[in-house]
Structure 1
Amino acid sequence: MRLSILLLLLLPSFITNAQDIKEVKTNKGKIYAFWGWNRGWYTNSDIHFTGDNYDFTLNDVEATDRQTAFDWGVYFGLSTITIPQTNFRLGYFINDNIDISVGVDHMKYVMVDIQDVKISGEINDESEYNGSYDNNDFTINPSFLKFEHTDGLNYLNAEITYNKNIFDLIGLKTNKEKIQLDYLLGFGLGALMPKSNVTLYGNENHDEFHFAGYGFGAKAGLNITFYKFFFLRSEYKGGFINMPDIRTTSNENDRASQHFWFTQLNFNFGFAINPFN
């Protein structure tokens, strides 16, 4: 709301008569980069665990994101800048309206540590969980399982995005050298490289980055550019993640798999240059 009011107050200074508008250079060749932060939401998922002495599935498991509380030192400190959930992207305009980009969506996925689910499969060891299960009621608790992608549900992806100037659409004449407001529509796909924090009834976790699967999604957003170089952007994304090969413990044979839908809302700031204009 505050941003909307600010834009309404500033807009008259950017509106100009037709004869005062300079010829606008094309976006083609423009390079941009941005950094920002996100919140994420995930559908419930079935998580399948396999190992030397177990093969079982937990059904309809709930999880949340974990955004870090805002602190200037954490969000902008060089040694802590990647602790929050972040977005980084580098892009290039192939023509006036379409850009291609690569980036990393650093999300976090945290299983709710105490919840009631169904379990099916077998656990064959000397633990208290030994037995066969057939859609039995089961309560997940921290002594049985901790399941998080908190060092990053890292979505490494490429996107193609369509950009359109909103002021042109509504017939509002503005000086694009000073301000430009675009809507964005895009699609992307990529790989998941989480660093998972998993503790399965006391086993040591596997604390390494690992390519675990793939994802794809679509987005819509708004981008406002000031004086051609600085911009603010917000995007709403939705997509699908499938990870058939999640490392869980230090044992090479211990694995997990899951898939789920996600949504993400991000806020970013960035800079753009056009070295060819």
Structure 2
Amino acid sequence: MKKLLVVGLMMSGLAFAQVKKDTLEKEYKLEVAPLNKVEKKEKPLPLSKKGQFFVFYGWNRAAYSNSDIHFQGNGYDFQLNNVSAQDRPTKFGIVYIDPSWFTVTQYNFRLGYFIKDNLALVLGIDHMKYVMDQNQTVDFKGHISDPQYAGMVQNGQVNLADENFLTFEHTDGLNYENLGIEKYKNLIHKKNIDLVWSYGAGIGVMFPKSNVKLFGNERSDRFHVAGMGTDIRSSLNLVFWKNWMIRVEGKAGYINMWDIKTTLNNKPDKAQQDFVFGQVLAGIGYTFNTKKYK
């Protein structure tokens, strides 16, 4: 009888253990399965996942601090102090959407790639325009050997209004070609709309096409690597239908150009200047996923 009781207890214990094991396995499957399903259905938030990239095209307005411009060449070495300048936006029209005219406007291009979640490397071209204000009188320091142009200096100042002494601009353009790093944070996430904030910094080279006419010489008008620039930036990105993006960006930076070509025929003549700039830009872009999500 005792043997039968022991055997019965052993069999019931095995049965209970098997039932408990089956129950635990079922519970584990119920817990794990939804998690697996969530992972399979996971979609990347716009501008937030490693492997995503985006392209952007837009237009800008810019402002510049006053700067001292130093000119050097055969027979002259002088500096114009506190020179003011403005940008030169193209009048709104078909030129803003006609691809054959895209370099005429003050445009911006971006290509971004997310190296980590929420962290992107961004290659950019900022095509700004810089035009020296012609109607101004500025302080002069230095010497000019040509008596005609030396005579335009009166009481340590020179009036630039008649354009005979100097015209000076970077209008095709003040090209800042830069590489930046940007951090992104999703502020609003809805079914078809996301609002994403970014901030970052960049550094790059200045590749202007400077239009300069000094002392009646033939106008210098050519692309040339003239110096470097750096910036800090922040943007708001409205992403709709998961891929399309409207971007508004603010940027402030510093530009130093120490080799601005002022005459043709590879003469040693050059100008140097540095200044602070601010820029506001807006445009449209598109985001891509390089990873597949089920």
**Which of 268, 273, 276 does residue 283 from structure 2 map onto?**
268
Q: Is residue 2:248 matched to residue 1:234?
A: yes
Q: Deviations over 1:210-257 (max 9, x none)?
A: 000000000111001112211000000000000000001115211000
Greater helix fraction, Structure 1 or Structure 2? 2
Letter in 1 for 2:181: I
Matched-pair identity in % = 47
Give the number of equivalent residue pairs. 248
Q: Which residue of 1 aligns with 2:23?
A: none
Q: Which has the larger radius of gyration?
A: 2
Q: Which residue of 2 aligns with 1:65?
A: 87
Q: Shift in Å at residue 94 of structure 1?
A: 1.1
**Which of 268, 271, 282 does residue 256 from structure 1 map onto?**
271
Q: Is residue 2:148 matched to residue 1:127?
A: yes
Tell me the SS of whatever aligns to 1:228: coil
Q: Is the 8 A contact 1:124 1:130 kept in 2?
A: no
**Which of 134, 138, 141 does residue 113 from structure 1 map onto?**
134
Distance 1:100 1:93 in 2: 6
Kindly report which structure 2 residues correspond to 1:5-154, keeping only aligned pairs within 5 A, or say none: 23-25=42-44, 27-72=49-94, 74-130=95-151, 136-141=156-161, 142-154=163-175
Letter in 2 for 1:207: D
Q: Which residue of 2 aligns with 1:8?
A: none
Distance 2:285 2:196 in 1: 14
Tell me the SS of whatever aligns to 1:127: helix
Letter in 1 for 2:60: N
Tell me the SS of whatever aligns to 2:96: helix
Q: Shift in Å at residue 132 of structure 1?
A: 8.3
Letter in 2 for 1:273: F
Q: Which residue of 1 aligns with 2:12?
A: none
Q: Which residue of 1 aligns with 2:27?
A: none
Q: Is the 8 A contact 1:123 1:131 kept in 2?
A: no
Distance 2:57 2:146 in 1: 47
Q: Deviations over 1:187-206 (max 9, x none)?
A: 00000000000001210122
Kindly report which structure 2 residues correspond to 1:180-195, keeping only aligned pairs within 5 A, or say none: 180-195=194-209
Q: Which residue of 2 aligns with 1:225?
A: 239
Distance 1:46 1:221 in 2: 31
Distance verdict in 2 for CA 1:190–1:128, change over 3 Å = closer
TM-score (norm: length of structure 2): 0.81
Distance 1:232 1:205 in 2: 39
Distance 1:217 1:65 in 2: 18
Q: Is residue 2:218 matched to residue 1:204?
A: yes
Letter in 2 for 1:49: F
Q: Shift in Å at residue 131 of structure 1?
A: 8.7
C-alpha RMSD over aligned residues: 1.8
Distance 1:99 1:158 in 2: 11
Tell me the SS of whatever aligns to 2:220: coil
Q: Which residue of 2 aligns with 1:245?
A: 259
Distance 1:92 1:128 in 2: 52
Q: Which residue of 1 aligns with 2:230?
A: 216
